[in-house]
Amino acid sequence: MSVQNASTIVTKFTITGFDTTKNPMLVGVVILIFYIVAVVANVVNILIILYNKKLHKPMYLLICNLAIVDLLYTTSASPTMIGVLVAGVKTISYVPCLIQMFTFHLAGVMEMFALSVMAFDRLIAISCPFQYHRYLTNVHTVVLTYVLWIVACAFVAVASAIVIHLPYCYTVLKYTVCNYSAIIRTTCVDPEYYFNLAAITIFFLSFFTFSFICLSYVGIIYFVKLSSNNDKKKIASTCLSHLIVVICYYFPVFVIAILTRFGVERNGFNIGSILGPSLVNPFVYCLRTREIKNEIIKMFSISQKS
């Protein structure tokens, strides 16, 4: 029987990634709480930066962009996981599943790009402090950000186009969300070629962005050695926030890649990689960026007085 004859028209998928989860309600409630906190924290960061003209600077615009990416990342997957675990809604229609796949992977690619640009921003600020505002103006930052969004959309659009044109034989997703791997496994074709294609793309993006970040910090370390002790403390304080968010994103990515290689179940790490950065990043920048922290304190002070 040919692949075309064996294929079926898919109208919805059934998500079975949580079928072996103990206490699904508890897990769902925990994810729900983390999701709400992540959304509120990122929205607060975005609003503070947008409505305070003093923060209309390249560094804060990049922080705002990262918050938007984190919102997209967690919102693309968390509601579906919460629906499965808490409400028991295990089905998702075909088109919403494809939309979820696109937004989920778009946010993942943009997270890498956003962290890379922020590393470049710190390198320019430290190596060329007197020419920083000439090289990285608000306009340059916004244009660069738009270009990266377009490039990320192009990468993910290719994966979406591949999935759409394949014949489907199954309607069960053995994953927790609609992603490229989950949908490829529902098709009638041999998934090996398509998995290898995705692995090469992910390796290229991860290797390029992570290497770029590492090289940026090599440059930063070089200029730190030439600085005074007082400047070293300021530079360390400025870069620590970015280092924390880089580790928070790339560590789960590398762990998942290793576990996948050995065929180990990784749903917990997948959930952590989705919620972790979106939850940690806004608090890192709230607590370690003096201007944002001061604005939050002012907001609470005004609300208490009123």
User: What separation in angstroms does the CA of 274 have from each of 15, 70, 108, 237, 252?
Assistant: 17, 9, 9, 26, 9
User: Between 4 and 280, whose confidence is greater?
Assistant: 280
Rounded mean pLDDT of 4-19? Answer: 80
- Residue 306 and residue 304: Cα distance in Å, rounded? 5
Q: How far apart are CA 194 and CA 185, in angstroms?
A: 10
**Calpha distance 302→304 (Å, rounded):** 5
pTM score of the predicted model: 0.90
Residue 22: pLDDT band by 50, 70, 90 thresholds?
Answer: confident
CA-to-CA distance for 156 and 75, rounded, in angstroms? 17
pLDDT at 17: 87
Residue among 49, 59, 204 nearest 117 (CA): 59
The per-residue pLDDT for range 108-143, each reduced to its tens digit, is 999 999 999 999 998 898 888 888 888 889 999 999
pLDDT number for residue 7: 67
pLDDT tens digit string along 62-71?
999 999 999 9
Q: What is the mean pLDDT of residues 139-152?
A: 95
Question: What is the reported pLDDT for 1?
Answer: 41
Token pair of 151 as six digits: 């490039």
Enter the DSSP assignment of 169.
-
Render pLDDT for 27-49 as a digit per residue (tens, 0 to 9): 999 999 999 999 999 998 999 88
> For the domain bounded by 12-301, which CATH number is listed?
1.20.1070.10
Q: Is residue 85 pLDDT above 90, yes or no?
A: yes
* Domain spans of the chain, in order of start: 12-301
Output the DSSP codes for 240-287: HHHHHHHHHHHHHHHHHHHHHHTT---HHHHHHHHHHHHHHHHHHHHH
Which residue, 266, 271, 246, 244, is CA-closest to 255?
266
